[in-house]
Structure 1
Amino acid sequence: MDYFHGYSVVGLVAVVGVLFVSVAFASGRLLRPVVPTPEKMLTYECGVDPVGGDWAHTQIRYYVYAFLYVIFAVDAIFLFPWATVFDAPGFGATTLVEMFVFIGFLAVGLLYAWKKGVLEWT
């Protein structure tokens, strides 16, 4: 019975969280004034009135740099905890093989990015 007690606490916290968010949204909807004006219906972007068309050119290289950062950040997030438990009894060869598989997947992704010329700073 003690096993399910932990799940009931998590479930109760989840229900209280959902109720709290629901009550907050409902009270906000009931208390806010609703006075739509033409100025309020305009598109708003950082205090600047929209001018021109709706098409904007975005550099894809920023996305690629962010993606490469995420790859290396995820790599670091998995490597540091793995390094702390690697020496513990019962985690030797199995965790070493698993980590080499993980690093292999990351290396394949990095090799693909290198072959595509993404890592060139031109």
Structure 2
Amino acid sequence: MASVAAGYLPILLFLAVAVALSSAFVVLPIVASKFTGSAKPTPEKLTEYECGFPAFEDSRAQFDVRFYLIAILFIIFDLEAAFLYPWAVSLGGIGFAGWAGMMIFLIELAIGYAYCWKKGALEWE
């Protein structure tokens, strides 16, 4: 029984270190901000610093659905590129089955792209 408990000791030690570090990464910036004064907003701290002028509208305004469609398409084709590179590197080892699987994947992506194009998701006004 003692040897079983001793087997879990490294896991428990790792878990304790992980909890301590994650707690420190959460608590220490909050404490540091209290001491440095960043928790006390002034008009200068609340001014626009990214674009230099006040926003035209409320920041909680709804976006057109095309923004989200373009973002989803970007993620899909970014993932495609992430899958194509390891596939190309290991193509010699995976043979025809790997090649056929990737062709099916690319055909599915092309069908999805054609569907978005047909529905006008890529048209910008």
Q: Specify the code of the residue in structure 2 equivalent to 1:115.
A: K
Q: Is 1:97 equivalent to 2:94 in the alignment?
A: no
SS in 1 for 2:92: coil
**CA deviation string 1:85-106 (max 9, x = no partner):** 1023xx1011112212221321
Q: CA separation in 1, counterparts of 2:102 and 2:29?
A: 49
Q: Which residue of 2 aligns with 1:23?
A: 24
Q: CA separation in 2, counterparts of 1:29 and 1:119?
A: 43
Report the alpha carbon displacement of residue 107 of structure 1 after superposing the two structures with TM. 1.9
Higher RCO (CA-CA < 8 Å; seq separation 6+):
2
% identical aligned pairs: 29
Q: CA separation in 2, counterparts of 1:27 and 1:59?
A: 39
Q: CA separation in 2, counterparts of 1:79 and 1:54?
A: 38
TM-score in terms of structure 1 length: 0.59
Cα 1:96–1:121, aligned 2, differ >3 Å: closer, same or farther? Answer: same
Report the alpha carbon displacement of residue 59 of structure 1 after superposing the two structures with TM. 2.6
* Runs of 5+ consecutive residues of structure 2 not aligned to the other structure: 1-9
Alignment coverage as a number of residue pairs: 107
Give the counterpart of 1:112 among 104, 110, 115: 115
Q: Which residue of 2 aligns with 1:81?
A: 86
In proportion to residue count, which structure has more helix?
2
RMSD: 3.7
SS in 2 for 1:87: helix
Cα 1:45–1:81, aligned 2, differ >3 Å: closer, same or farther? Answer: farther
**CA deviation string 1:33-81 (max 9, x = no partner):** 7xx99x79xxx7857999x878524232222222211111111110111
Report the alpha carbon displacement of residue 28 of structure 1 after superposing the two structures with TM. 5.4
Q: Specify the code of the residue in structure 1 equivalent to 2:85.
A: F
Q: Specify the code of the residue in structure 2 equivalent to 1:119.
A: L
Q: CA separation in 2, counterparts of 1:120 and 1:26?
A: 47
